[in-house]
Structure 1
Amino acid sequence: MQLLLGRLADAFRQLAGLLRRVRPAEKSTLLAAFVSAISVFAFVEIADDVTEGDTLAFDQKVLLFFRNPADHSDPLGPPWLEGVMRDFTALGGIPVLTTFTALVVGFLLLSGRRRSAWMVAVSVLGGIILSNLLKWGFDRPRPDLVPHAMAVYSQSFPSGHAMLSAVVYLTLGALLARTESDIRVKVYLLGAACLLTMIVGISRIYLGVHWPTDVLAGWAVGAGWALVTWLVMLWLQGRGKVEAAH
């Protein structure tokens, strides 16, 4: 994990130098392309370490950080916090994310942005399919170090909740940010999307249903997928195939 963080730090230093040499209009596209590439790279590195068993010590240390040292079946904090975490984790579940997506797609259709609606639907549906394919491919068991605080039925790697919350909330946050000219509002919307994504992932670790690297991998591949589909939308918009922001 330290090697991965070092490589990411070097990459972002190179990006900072590159952004100083490009035109302002190109910076957002370049940044999105770079971050999507970094996200995919991070996922590949994490997956490789997980497959080789190199993350076990890290996973165990972080998972136990959220547990009572005297009783690993007891999550840290007051009893009500466990209920709060279950509520947070529901924000990354298929029913909630599907509802959010359907409402946004309906809004786009009613406002005359039919192609944008299709792009959002394809992005989310593609993310769900990719998540299931990755889970089946890696077939990692759920953590057995601590009791699960809720029922789980699928494989562990990558975290579907972390991945799909990144896909949905980052896509919708970017979609809303397109409609705003104030940079502060754009930052707020994207920051809120990132915060929701992080809360969902942390809740999965707290409840003991995912290893930390499951969540990190889910965040990485989810952000990468959201950014790639966003770049495709920008490309189609430039060719007149997708409606411009109002």
Structure 2
Amino acid sequence: MTALFGGLWGFMAIAEAVMVQETHALDEALLLALRNPTDPRDPLGPPWLEEVARDLTALGSVGVLALVTVGALVYLLLARRARAAGFTAVAVGGGMLLTNLLKLGFGRPRPDLVPHEAVVYTASFPSGHAMMAAITYLTLAAMLSRIERRWHIKAYLLLVAVCVTVVVGVSRIYLGVHWPTDVLAGWAVGAAWAALCWLIARGVQRK
């Protein structure tokens, strides 16, 4: 419940600040902090780091998330957890729909302060990669942990989901395709959606 309301409050606070442009100076400063001071076109670090960032950011792409979700659904079906599989599919699919609706509603332009190091097609706020990574990986971790009795395995699944979600969001800022507040908002609303789905699934299971 704390994650749900905390995520919603965080998203609304960030969205309000973005709409009145209170975060613009901070967004610019953080974005430039990850660039070569003498050449904003060059991200900090060696060339291989930029390539690694592209690889990591793909963990939040539609194609990779679809493959991961399908793999988890097949596992749940093989484990005779058809209801959990169906609920997971609805949760991830609904999260994708919510992401697109929020992007259309806010319509924030992408950063033009530095060159984009990855191809982008949609609006900037909230970050779709950050939001869908939070929704997908946290939801899958929650569903898979429900069929695992050992607490340390449950904790490991959640830790991996959180780490992947954080890495995806940071990579979007590093590649210059999102403002930092886009990513923060994506994490907040994505975590809130995952928490809501988990609470509903737990309630249905108890009944």
What is the alpha-carbon distance in structure 1 between the residues aligned to residue 81 and residue 150 of structure 2? 22
Match among 167, 174, 195 for residue 227 of structure 1 = 195
1:24-173 to structure 2, matched below 5 A, reads 33-173=1-141
- Which fold has the larger relative contact order, with Cα–Cα distance below 8 Å and residues 6 or more apart in sequence? 2
Q: Structure 1 CA distance, aligned partners of 2:71 and 2:85?
A: 10
Q: Give the aligned residue type for 1:218.
A: G
Whole-angstrom distance in 1 between the partners of 2:78 and 2:154: 23
Structure 2: gaps (5+ residues)? none
1:112-164 deviation digits (Å, cap 9, x = unpaired): 21111110000000000000000000000000000000111100000000000
Alpha carbons 2:84, 2:143 under 8 Å: kept: no
Structure 1 stretches lacking a partner, 5+ long: 1-32, 240-246
The percentage of counterpart residues that share the same residue type is: 54
Task: Give the whole-Å Cα distance in 2 for the aligned partners of 1:175 and 1:96.
Answer: 19
State the superposition RMSD in angstroms.
0.9
Q: Please state how far the C-alpha of 1:186 moved relative to its aligned partner.
A: 2.0
- CA distance in 1 between counterparts of 2:202 and 2:151 reads 19
Residue 204 of structure 1 aligns with an amino acid whose one-letter code is R
**What letter is aligned with 1:87?**
D
The residue aligned with 1:13 is: none
Q: Deviations over 1:192-225 (max 9, x none)?
A: 1100000000000000000000000000000000
* Partner residue of 1:198 out of 158, 163, 166: 166
Q: Distance in 2 between matches of 1:206 and 1:238?
A: 43
How far apart are residue 81 of structure 1 and its match? 0.5
Give the secondary-structure state (helix, strand or coil) at the position aligned to 1:74.
strand
Query: Is this contact kept in 1: 2:35–2:41, CA < 8 A?
Result: yes
* Cα separation, partners in 2 of 1:180 and 1:115, compared to 1, 3 Å: closer
In structure 2, the residue corresponding to 1:116 is in which secondary structure? helix
Residue 214 of structure 1 corresponds to 182
The amino acid that maps onto 1:66 is L
Q: CA deviation at 1:184?
A: 2.5
Select which of 125, 143, 151 maps to 1:183: 151
String of CA shifts for 1:32-66, please: whole Å, max 9, x gaps.
x1111110000000000000000001101111111
Q: In structure 2, how many angstroms separate the alpha carbons of the residues matched to 1:214 and 1:151? A: 17
1:56-102: CA deviation from partner (whole Å, max 9, x where unpaired): 01101111111001100000000011000000000000000011111
TM-score (norm 1): 0.82
Show the counterpart of 1:3.
none
> Alpha-carbon deviation of 1:110?
2.4
**Aligned position for 1:24:** none
